[in-house]
Structure formats: structure tokens, C-alpha cells
Structure 1
Amino acid sequence: MELPEKKRVAVIGPLLPYRGGIAQHTTLLSRALGDITETLTISFSRQYPSWLFPGESDTDPKYKDHREPGCEYLLDSMNPLSWSRVVERVDAFAADIVVIPWWTVFWTPCFGYISRALRERNLEVVFFCHNVIEHESSGWKSYLTRLVLKKGTRFVAHTRADQKNLHSLVPGAAITVHPHPIYDQFPEPLGSLPRRKSLELLFYGFVRPYKGLDTLIEALGKIAQRDVMLTIAGEFWEGKQALVDRIEQLGISDLIEMRAYYHSEQDTAELFSRADMVVLPYRSATGSGVIMLAYNYNRPVLVTSVGGLADVVEQGRTGFVVPPEDPEAIAGLLRTLRPEDCEAMQPCIEETKRRWTWSGLAEALLDAG
């Protein structure tokens, strides 16, 4: 794509060594933007206070000493003086566009101040909305979200569900919708994890109530005689003991491996490589980077018809879509699913991977300006 003029872009948000999907996304987007235009990237000296983050740490142990090339780690979420310094740095860079990710109201004070100050300097503020309405939503959260997002010049989202939610909060908003690119930065698997059963399933990522893991457990309880194994890989925000108790009540402990901790990139590669299918039994969502991670390893997904999950799954070609909170629907699919059925979807997944790239996302963001 030929740009009429080279726009100077500033990206403000979490990058490596911070962990999680938003940090991965912002890192890869900033790299893609840096490949095609002048880019300033600013990340956090401190992202969350330790008492607020529910996991062991908000940084990836593998990258604890990593500093993203060219990134300036200036922003402290709890220090307003740093917010002002970030605004001055962006102004000195003479940015034309400032990209800020949005996913939770925790960022209302910090990103609200920064976006308002940037707009006062007549800079274009683009909010990259990963989650317009929070999973555990409430009226006050929607109010705070609207308070910040109305300071945006335009918006980018990955799903039509987020587009719809944005229009409800910011009527008339200019929104670009572009598919979530594939997470292709993860390493190749070494094949270190042996298979245990005929059908291997994977639930991956932070375990939170909205992700519906309990629905998947109930489904497994309905097919207890099936030669299937589920790996749960991720830290629990809450409810771990209740889930363990229910697994024992259903008598399916031998069908489940619990890996309730953070997984490195190499561990992640091994887990996805062993799985025949990745399951996202969410009861609410707008989108999920886990789907793109599964596609990276040519693994089909089983998702529910909530938010934008079904938008990126071709029924029977890259995965399956079932109703939310319906254990019988999941059980019905798993009763007859074979590893060969999953393997047969790989050519279509490969085709999808070629379409959804980070360079394409970066170009779409700039082209819409």
C-alpha cells in the first residue's frame, strides 16, 4: 500500500516484558507500524500495582530483562506526573496519530488524562478497543468507558460485536473493523508432551467466570466414558476450588489435567501442539486472541455463539460453533469428534492465516485516517 504521506504514529500501551494478550497485541502492532512509518512506542515503567494483579506477576519471566527496541518505558499507571511526561514526549515527537489500547476501566484516570491532553493539542487519538463493555459489566463501568472513549477521534476493533457496543457508547463514532491477526510469534513445538487419550482438548488462558469453563466440565461429565482428555492451562482469578469439587462430584478427575499457572511461550507451543481442538466455552465475549493462537498451530476451535467469536470460525472448516451455556451441545459434538476430523480442517486454517496479518492490520489503521 502506498501512503499519500508518511504519518508519524505514537503507540501507548503495554508491551513486552508485560504478559497477556493485550501486551502481545500491542507489541506486534507497534512492530508492524514501525515497518511502514515513523513510530514512537511508549510502555509502562509500572503497569499495575502488585496488590491489584491477580496472577503471580504481570511480567513474563522469559522476558523479565527484555526491553522492546525503540520503546520508552515512561508511563506509571499510578503516577499522574508520568502521564504528563508521556503527553509532552508524544508532542515533542510531533505525532500525527496516537494509538491507545482500551480494555478495562482501570485505565480511566491514566488514559482519560492522556487522551484529553492529546486532543487539546489537536492530535488524532485512535482507541484500539479490545473490550468495549467489560465481561463483568455494570452501569458505572459503562459510564467511565464512555467518559474516556468519547475523547477518541476514531476507533479500531476486531469484531462487529465491539463495533456495535462502541456505537451504543459513542454514537456516530468512526470505527474500522479488522480481523484479529494470527499470533505467529510463538515458537515451534518440540513435541515434548505425550498424548494420553484418543482426543486431546485444551482450555487455555486466565480462568474467569465469563469464560464458561464450568460449562465444559459439565459437558465432560455427560461423556465420562469417552476416550478424551482435557488440559486446563491458566491461572484462576477465582473459583478454582469450586471447580475442583465439581470435577470430583462428576467423577471425571481422570479426564482432566489441571495446570493452574502461567505458561511460557514454549510451554504454550507444546500444549497447542498436543491438542486436537482448543475449546472456548465462553458465556460472554467480544473476541479472543486464543483463537488466533490456536490457528497459529493449525488447531481448530470449539467456540460459543457469543460476541464476535463466531465471526472468525467457519463451521466445520476451522472449528465449530455451539450455543453458550449448553453442556449438552458441547457433549453432543465431542461424542463423535475424532482427531482425524480436526486434522482435516488444517488446510482451511492455513488459508485463514495467510489473510490475517499484522502488516495488514497496521495498513488498515493508517489507511482509515
Structure 2
Amino acid sequence: MAVPDPRGGPAPAARAGRPRIAIVGPTHPYKGGIAQHTTELAHRLARRGHDVWIESWSAQYPARLYPGQQRVDAPEMEPFPATGYPLSWWRPDGWVRLGRRLRRRADAVVVVVVTPIQAPAYLGILAGLGRAGRRAAGPAVLALCHNVLPHERRRLDEPLIRAVLRRAGAVLVHTDAEATRAAALTAAPVRVAAMAPHLWTAPSRRVHAADAPAAPDRAGEPAGQATGEATSALGGPRRRLLFFGLVRPYKGLDVLLRALAAGPPDVALTVAGEFWGGQEATQALVAELGLADRVELRPGYVDAADVPALFAAADALVLPYRAGTASQNVDLAHLHGLPVVATSVGTLPAAVSDGVDGLLVPPGDPAALAAALRRLYEPGVLTALAAKVRPPDTAGGWERYLDTLLEAIEGQRRVDHR
């Protein structure tokens, strides 16, 4: 399939009924779920026969705004070949220039809205695309919002995102709650598509996310059987839970630590992920609660090659979020055969069936979470939950996601061409 060169040159003719689509968003070497989703989206659109390319960032954030590791050396999933890196946070001239180029070469532009910090760049691109005012011109523009507004908000977040969404022709979000937030900020049509799994495996295996292996059969394993190697490092036979991913206040790690202290005394916890501040406070809380011999902190970004062993060493994944929209960690846990203990926020109640393949508790309630942990380790409960875990429907999820995304683009193009 011919794809346009993102560095420039003449645009290929659009295939019959298939618009040329540019995706503006993070991809490799940037890390994390949004970059993975952008990459997988491009692969999936290309598989459907679209001419698609990614316009990404050479410099995404100032270091002072994102103190952690922004890039990874090894790809977390297969990089998309038609990718350019024209965007930099410190080059506003490049924002408008990219928009002008896309206006000439693309039939549709998907702008992956990551954070209000990048709103000036989005607005520059939209201005170059001919969407600076009320009258839109040029390609159809779809704003793809993983979160319409950040979980931890600042004063200017809402007006910045409002300015972006009002200039887009349509908006795509992943939950009904996010659709309500978006509709309050723009008159543009808002569509909802459930987040499709974008799961990665160790790069050395060279397995594409779409072809990830089926979940292992853990049914019948005694609770804690898979944890022997990891728990022995803590000096005794302990059962083990996993908290995985970027550590931010809204994810409720402090709630989990308090629940662990009040829950079954022989259960250990691994915390694996990069801290967005608060690591010293977490270490202090671990000491205060007397959990030093039961909590293993593994701060820093988790390489894809290390993920299978982390999940294999745990009995369950715990998501004690105070707030949230959607989490790919449920799919990741189910891919590895683990039940999930989660709070009833965002899409977690739809992803975790209480008492079937996991347990649900109210957010921000250490006592309720402690009770759930005790229940998890009652005789037979963990085995019964694990037996009901099913791997995510990656192929079906992406087909439905692409259908909704393309319908949003086509609906906008029909309106623009009246």
C-alpha cells in the first residue's frame, strides 16, 4: 500500500472511498499507552487500505514539566513506517507549517489531544489547517481525546481544551462520561468508541500487539503458586499483589497501602512504575504503616520485556483509583490471566465483573479495599476468579473502534462538502 512521505512531496491520490488520513500524536520513541495507541491506530487504518501517516514530536515537553523518562530505546510495539517528527514544543513556526502542509496533502487529520500543555501547538496546527475561526476549511479534523481534561486540573486547562475542541470538526472520546465533558466545551459532534486494546509484549519477541498470545490458563493454580521466586526475596512465603503503571495521586496507591496494612497480614505488594512525584512520601507511608518487609517498590518505567514476569509473579492486579476514565491495565491483566481488584470509577465496572473475574470496591475507601483483599484470599476465591478471566477481544475491539472513528470523519466530510 502506498503511503505519503510525512517529510513532504506530492500527496498520493485518495483511494476510492478512503480518505488520506494524517494522525498527529506521540509514537515511538515516546513511551506509554497513548503513544502505543497512536501507533496501533495507524497500523489498523493501514490494514483497512487507507493511506495513513503519523506526524509526531521531536521534542514533546520541557523537562521541567515532565520530570520522568519521556523516551524508550526499544520499541514497545512495531513502529509505523510512515512517521515524521516535525513538531517541537519550542518551535511554534513548525506548528502552523505542519497544518498548512496537511491542508494540502490530507483528506482527514486525527489530532491526538494528550494534555492542555500542548494546546498552543494544537491551535497552531488547526490554524494552518484553516480552522482558526468559525468557518472551517480544508481537511476534516477529528480531535481524539483520551481524557478531555486531566484528572489533576489547573486553572487554564478547561479554556485551553475548549479552544481546541471548538476548532475541530468532530470529537472522539472513550466513555459516556467523557462525552458529557466534551459536549460542554464544544458544539461539534461528539462520538464515543470504547477504548480498543493496544497491548504490547517484549520487543525481543517481535509480536505485534494485534497478535498477542492468549492468556495463560491459571485456573486450578493454588493462590500464590506463581509467586514463589519473587516472594522469597522478601524473606518469607508471602502471597503477592501488583500495582502497575505510572504512579499519580489519582491512582490511589496510598489507599492501597493503607488497605494492605489492614488486610490479610501475609500478603505482599509489588509497586512497579514511574512516580509522577511523591516517591519519598510513598516510602515514608510504607515505613509508617510497618510494611517495609511486604512492599517492594520498583520505581521507574517498566520495560516491555519485564512485564510478563511481573504479572506471572502476582495473584491479582489492584487498581485503587480515586478517579479515572479507562485503563488498559485491565486488558493487560486479563491477557496474563490475572483477576483485577478495582474501584468503581470510569469504565472499570464495565471491564471488571464483580465476583466473576475480579472484585469492585468504592473509591477512596481503605477499609472496603482491605475487606476485598481478605475476601480475595479466602479459600477457593482466587482460583474461581482466575478461572473466569478471558483475554481481551483485541480484533473485535479495534474493528468497532475504527468503524466509529471513520464514521465520525465521513460525517464531517459530508457536512463540509455541502
Matched with 2:55 is 42
| Counterpart AA for 1:222 | A
- Counterparts of 1:51-200 in structure 2 under 5 Å? 51-55=64-68, 57-63=69-75, 68-93=80-105, 95-118=106-129, 119=131, 120-170=136-186, 172-187=187-202, 194-196=229-231, 197=237, 199-200=239-240
**8 A contact 2:97–2:128 mirrored in 1:** no
- 1:17 aligned to which of 15, 23, 29: 29
Structure 1 residue 180, shift from structure 2 partner: 1.5
Q: How far apart in 2 are the matches of 1:192 and 1:79?
A: 49
**8 A contact 1:206–1:234 mirrored in 2:** yes
- 1:309 aligned to which of 344, 348, 353: 348
Q: How far apart in 2 are the matches of 1:367 and 1:345?
A: 38
Structure 1 residue 264, shift from structure 2 partner: 0.5
Structure 1 residue 40, shift from structure 2 partner: 2.0
Q: Over the residues paired in the alignment, what is the CA RMSD in angstroms? A: 2.6
**8 A contact 1:181–1:292 mirrored in 2:** no
Q: Deviations over 1:125-171 (max 9, x none)?
A: 1111111121112442111111111111111111122112112222x
| Counterpart AA for 1:28 | E
TM-score by length of 2: 0.80
Residue 224 and residue 345 in structure 1: after superposition, are their counterparts in 2 closer, same or farther (change >3 A)?
closer
Q: How far apart in 2 are the matches of 1:277 and 1:251?
A: 22
Count of residues in correspondence between the two structures: 362
Over the matched positions of the two proteins, sequence identity in percent amounts to: 36
**8 A contact 1:179–1:356 mirrored in 2:** no
Greater displacement, 195-204 / 120-129? 195-204
Q: How far apart in 2 are the matches of 1:293 and 1:302?
A: 13
Matched with 1:255 is 294
**1:220 maps to 2:260:** yes
Residue 61 and residue 47 in structure 1: after superposition, are their counterparts in 2 closer, same or farther (change >3 A)?
same
Greater displacement, 336-345 / 264-273? 336-345
Structure 1 residue 12, shift from structure 2 partner: 0.5
User: Which entry has the higher C-alpha Rg, 1 or 2?
Assistant: 2
Residue 216 and residue 293 in structure 1: after superposition, are their counterparts in 2 closer, same or farther (change >3 A)?
same
**8 A contact 1:205–1:235 mirrored in 2:** yes
**8 A contact 1:295–1:353 mirrored in 2:** no
Q: Deviations over 1:19-40 (max 9, x none)?
A: 0111111111111111111112
Residue 340 and residue 60 in structure 1: after superposition, are their counterparts in 2 closer, same or farther (change >3 A)?
farther
Structure 1 residue 261, shift from structure 2 partner: 1.1
Q: How far apart in 1 are the matches of 2:404 and 2:181?
A: 21
Q: How far apart in 2 are the matches of 1:327 and 1:78?
A: 43
What secondary structure, in the 3-state scheme, does the structure 2 residue paired with 1:282 have? coil
Q: How far apart in 1 are the matches of 2:111 and 2:83?
A: 15
Q: How far apart in 1 are the matches of 2:96 and 2:182?
A: 27
**8 A contact 2:21–2:109 mirrored in 1:** yes
Structure 1 residue 192, shift from structure 2 partner: 11
What secondary structure, in the 3-state scheme, does the structure 2 residue paired with 1:350 have? coil
TM-score by length of 1: 0.89
| Counterpart AA for 1:184 | L
Unaligned runs of 5+ in 1: none
**1:335 maps to 2:346:** no
Q: How far apart in 1 are the matches of 2:255 and 2:138?
A: 48
Structure 1 residue 353, shift from structure 2 partner: 2.5
Matched with 2:403 is 363
- 2:244 aligned to which of 160, 179, 204: 204
Q: How far apart in 1 are the matches of 2:201 and 2:331?
A: 11
Q: Deviations over 1:252-277 (max 9, x none)?
A: 11111100111110112221222221
